[in-house]
Amino acid sequence: MKTKVLWDLCEGNGVCASAAPEIFEIDDDDNLIVLDENPREELRASYEAAVKICPKRALVIED
């Protein structure tokens, strides 16, 4: 599974980091940081939750 962010849509609100803290983090300047570019299968549910909850639809699931 690959982490894919549509960067031009992301507004750095950090909602995804709440849903999937193993994969995403927000830095002190409200920039989204991808911690894990290739999340292991066990993190799929977290990633899917982040995709679903992102208010900007800036996350994509790619296998």
Residues that bind ligand SF4 (CB under 6 A): 5, 10-16, 32, 54, 56, 58-59
User: How far, in Å, CA of 8 to CA of 10, rounded?
Assistant: 6
Distance CA 63, CA 60 (A): 10
- State in angstroms the smallest separation of the CB of 40 from ligand SF4: 20
**Closer CB to ligand SF4, 25 or 41, in the complex:** 25
Q: Output phi, psi for 55, to 5 deg.
A: -70, -15
CB of 26 to ligand SF4, least distance (A): 7
Nearest distance from C-beta of residue 29 to ligand SF4, angstroms = 12
Give the whole-angstrom CA distance, residue 29 versus residue 1: 28
